[in-house]
Amino acid sequence: MEETRWKEKNQYLGLTEDGRRVRLLDQSQLPNREVWLELEEPEELAEAIRTLRVRGAPAIGVFAAYALYVLARRLADRAPVEAAFRTRLREWAAGLAATRPTAVNLRWALERMLARADRTAGPPEQIVQVLERECRAIHREDGEMCRRIAEHGLTLVGEGDGILTHCNAGALAASRYGTALGPILLGQERGKKLRVFADETRPLLQGGRLTAWELARAGVEVTLICDNMASMVMKNGWVQACFVGCDRVAANGDTANKIGTSGVAILAKHYGIPVYVLGPTSTIDMACPDGDHIPIEERDGEEIKTMWYEKPMALPEVKCYNPAFDVTDHELIAGIVTEKGICRPPYTKSLKALFDDKK
Ligand code: MRU
């Protein structure tokens, strides 16, 4: 019963009933307005990722897969020549992949869609049918992975524990339970109460706008703090573990996640608090040897200066540096929780074992 409730409620992304548009809750307008969008044009689909209407590594992968299918379907309606159809698919996939560079799930999902198309010999209408099954499968599997991550993550915490989280790695950012928020939401369903401290997450406030929104709606005890209060909360003894999501995990365990995550991990080390990274295996990039090889997105400085203020909070001539992600060194991470289980150091071995395991 509870299970069904989550399945239905935590669905912020999908296809419209006729399958011709991508439907999503516009995250850029939360928590004040719940606006659902239906998108079908190449530019509006790419814009939705760029401007964070849809965000979170697994969610942008799922969204991009749906987007590619919607575009393919529209084109197939116009009875194109097969070779031209396949070329156009590749161009759209490249355009979508270029919207955000750090989260590897985006590229992963698009490559999976293209590979499926490549393996399908046949006219565009047939390829479109296969692509529809593939994007729905990507979404369904993401939900299943999140559920398993939640199960594994829940074993790491006890009744009443305080969890500090950064950014938003909940159902908005992935499917169903999300990743870092999964154990908390599953615990809530099962009556295992956890207390959450949500970093507001400057500059785009995903913690305040999204994590606090999701957890409050689920009835979880959540306390919003400014990013610079994390040390105080840890020092007070209120935090027993940090749960964070990930945008890309390198083969040695170095992890890119929302800017500020590495600072949380450094503080946690000082206070002896374990930091767990939670994410599906689609976020692990074994071709990337370490964090130095992860491309870090840099965003417009106006997000810092003007976005949340009635009047600009710095002079126009003041320069800003606005990296969207940072890399947490693998030595600061106590465990990486995936759908296949919890990886422990040394990550070069434990992460590799995930992919050697053909089960
Ligand atoms: O810029 P964002 O909001 O897309 O960044 C999101 C994060 O950093 C998340 O923690 C990460 O993608 C994991 S989401 C399950």
Separation of alpha carbons 284 and 171, rounded Å: 19
For residue 272, give the 3-state DSSP assignment: coil
Does residue 167 line the site of ligand 1, with CB under 6 A? Answer: yes
Does residue 103 line the site of ligand 1, with CB under 6 A? Answer: yes
CA of 294 to the centre of ligand 1 (A): 15
Domain boundary among 146, 169, 190: 146
Separation of alpha carbons 91 and 321, rounded Å: 31
Give the pLDDT confidence score for residue 7 in this predicted structure.
Answer: 47
pLDDT tens digits, one per residue of 177-224: 999 999 999 999 999 999 999 999 999 999 999 999 999 999 999 999
Give the pLDDT confidence score for residue 79 in this predicted structure.
Answer: 83
CA of 209 to the centre of ligand 1 (A): 13
Does residue 173 line the site of ligand 1, with CB under 6 A? Answer: yes
Domain boundary among 146, 171, 197: 146
C-alpha torsion sign, points 52, 53, 56, 57: negative
- Verify whether residue 290 is a known catalytic residue: no
Does residue 260 line the site of ligand 1, with CB under 6 A? Answer: no
Mutate to test the pocket of ligand 1, among 55, 249, 282, 339 (most ligand atoms within 8 A of CB): 55
CA of 172 to the centre of ligand 1 (A): 10
User: Where do the H-state alpha helices sit in the chain?
Assistant: 2-9, 42-50, 57-76, 82-97, 104-118, 124-154, 182-190, 206, 212-218, 230-235, 261-271, 302-305, 347-356
Give the pLDDT confidence score for residue 2 in this predicted structure.
Answer: 47
Give the pLDDT confidence score for residue 80 in this predicted structure.
Answer: 85
Give the pLDDT confidence score for residue 176 in this predicted structure.
Answer: 85
Does residue 54 line the site of ligand 1, with CB under 6 A? Answer: no
For the chain, 359 residues long, the average pLDDT of each consecutive 10-residue run is 50 95 97 97 98 97 98 93 96 98 96 98 95 97 97 97 98 94 97 97 98 97 98 98 98 98 98 98 97 98 95 96 98 98 98 83
CA of 352 to the centre of ligand 1 (A): 23
Domain membership flag for residue 234:
yes
Same domain for 176 and 141: no
Same domain for 286 and 141: no
Local structure of residue 68 (DSSP, 8 states): H
pLDDT tens digits, one per residue of 260-310: 999 999 999 999 999 999 999 999 999 999 999 999 999 999 999 999 999
Does residue 278 line the site of ligand 1, with CB under 6 A? Answer: no
Same domain for 111 and 194: no
Give the pLDDT confidence score for residue 358 in this predicted structure.
Answer: 58
Separation of alpha carbons 64 and 53, rounded Å: 13
Same domain for 242 and 211: yes
Same domain for 169 and 284: yes
Domain count, the chain: 2
Which of 247, 254, 285, 326 is catalytic? The answer is: 247
Give the pLDDT confidence score for residue 289 in this predicted structure.
Answer: 98
Residue type, 310: E
Same domain for 208 and 253: yes
Domain span including residue 255: 157-354
CA of 325 to the centre of ligand 1 (A): 9
Domain membership flag for residue 151:
no
